[in-house]
Amino acid sequence: MFFRLYKYSLLRSSRERLTIFWNLLFPIMLGSLFQLAFGNYTEKEVLFHQIPVACVEEEGADQNFSELLKVLESDNELIKVQKVKKEKAEQLLRDEQVEGIFLNKGAPGQEERGISLVVTEEGINQTILSSILEQYERTFATLTTIGTEYPDGIQAAAALLEEDCDYLKKGSLGAASANSVMDYFYSLLAMSCLMGSTMGLMCAVEFKASLSPLAARRMVAGSGRFRMLWPDLAAKITVQFVYIVFSTGYLMFILKVPLGEQWGFLLLTEFVGSVMGIFLGFFIGVAGKMQYNTKEALCILIMMVSSFFSGLMIDGIQRVVERYVPFFARINPASLIAGAFNSLNIYDTYGRYMESVGTMLIMILILAAGSFMMVRRERYAGI
């Protein structure tokens, strides 16, 4: 009986046009607008790629600097070097195929010699290239001075400088980038999960004989309430989970939003968030004697306020809440979901992630227990 009722409820829920639009199409459209507004910024200023650079070596070029570029390309994977003639390098720079040009005329400090950097704009990549050149010039000047004045200490000085360079390692805080732009997408996914509250509300209304003719017929049926309730809740959770997974797939594979590669934890977060959204709406639906429109407005209000304080509308608001009202940040549903997504991508450990998911599970248990108690105690004098 469970699977038969589950199938019929699944078909009925998947055909709700308003639900399809708000729970599936609306997050996709909003995500597309986010990507249109922030995608180019994320790609150019946030996500790291090997920096393409041209190197022009003239007669008497400093081979030590050339070796440095080779190390940065092969070992550190920081830059990608093209050794070309000056005219070709300038053409590559004009065509935006390289971020800068290193003109290697010889070791720094020599008359009419030295190394220079040519760029056409200012940005993070150009700053990195400039830092490479400045660091090399300082190191070269230091070793030259020591070699001239204290030749016996040149080896010790070189060892110290090499040890200092070891601090510059390529690292990663996670599978995806930690940045304020990604917070918008995390909050969007959190809002998508909480949109399941409207489906949970529909499920509750279908068991409130005072609000729905279908619920009235169910109340006089021979089957127990919970035997009909469980398949309906399971179907609503399934449909909402499919919607959020589809939206996530669209963001990752169509819009190329870097949400991370930890698929198992990503799907677990979306499932738990969907269940929390469903039970939030179900709890509102079975509580009190308000009309359906009032309860629907309450669901939407809670969802939007929660999403607002998770950072969907204003960048950084979630950090302000975390600082000044930490308790609210710990129980805000959208902040918990967005925080779980965020922690997967910026922390090497799962402590913060498990804290967020654990809090969501506790909230689900509280909402479910409260809802079922109200459903069980509900009686009607007449239908």
Given a cut of 60, whether residue 383 has pLDDT beyond it is no
**What is the distance between the alpha carbons of residues 106 and 118, in angstroms, rounded to a whole number?**
16
Average pLDDT estimate for 198-227: 76
Mind giving me the DSSP string for 3-66?
HHHHHHHHHHHHT-HHHIIIIIIHHHHHHHHHHHHHHHHIIIIIS--PEEEEEEE-TT--HHHH
Given a cut of 70, whether residue 72 has pLDDT beyond it is yes
**What is the distance between the alpha carbons of residues 246 and 118, in angstroms, rounded to a whole number?**
46
pTM greater than the 0.75 cutoff: no
Give the confidence band of 193 by pLDDT, cuts at 50, 70, 90. very high
Average pLDDT estimate for 96-103: 93
Give the confidence band of 163 by pLDDT, cuts at 50, 70, 90. low
- Please write the tens of the pLDDT for every residue from 267-319: 999 999 999 999 999 999 999 888 889 999 999 999 999 999 999 999 889 88
Give the confidence band of 203 by pLDDT, cuts at 50, 70, 90. very high
- Please write the tens of the pLDDT for every residue from 246-273: 999 999 999 988 888 899 999 999 999 9
Give me the residues paired with residue 83 across strands: 55
In which element (H, E) is residue 344 found? Answer: helix 333-346
**Integer CA distances (angstroms), 279 to 9, 168, 193, 271, 272, in order:** 17, 48, 11, 12, 11
With a pLDDT cut of 90, the percent of the chain lying above it is 54
The pLDDT of residue 311 is 92
The pLDDT of residue 167 is 37
- Please write the tens of the pLDDT for every residue from 18-38: 999 999 999 999 999 998 887
Give me the residues paired with residue 57 across strands: 104
* Domain chopping of the chain, boundaries: 2-43+177-377, 50-165
Given a cut of 90, whether residue 336 has pLDDT beyond it is yes
Q: How many other C-beta atoms are found inside a 10 Å radius of the C-beta of residue 162? A: 10
**What is the distance between the alpha carbons of residues 339 and 333, in angstroms, rounded to a whole number?**
10
CATH class of the structural domain 50-165: alpha beta
Which of 156-160, 167-171, 176-180, 336-340 has the weakest average pLDDT? 167-171
The pLDDT of residue 110 is 63
The pLDDT of residue 236 is 96
Pairing between β-strand 115-118 and β-strand 101-104 as defined by DSSP bridges: antiparallel
Given a cut of 50, whether residue 84 has pLDDT beyond it is yes
Given a cut of 70, whether residue 44 has pLDDT beyond it is no
- Please write the tens of the pLDDT for every residue from 101-142: 999 988 776 656 789 999 998 887 888 899 999 988 888 888
Please give the residue that has the higher pLDDT: either 30 or 74: 30
**What is the distance between the alpha carbons of residues 354 and 343, in angstroms, rounded to a whole number?**
9
The pLDDT of residue 166 is 44
Mind giving me the DSSP string for 67-86?
HHHHHHHHTS--EEEEE--H
The pLDDT of residue 40 is 62
- Packing angle, helices 263-286 and 333-346, rounded to 10: 180
Please give the residue that has the higher pLDDT: either 46 or 366: 366
The pLDDT of residue 175 is 42
Give the confidence band of 243 by pLDDT, cuts at 50, 70, 90. very high
Give the confidence band of 177 by pLDDT, cuts at 50, 70, 90. very low
| Type of residue at 233 | L
- Mean pLDDT, the chain, integer: 86
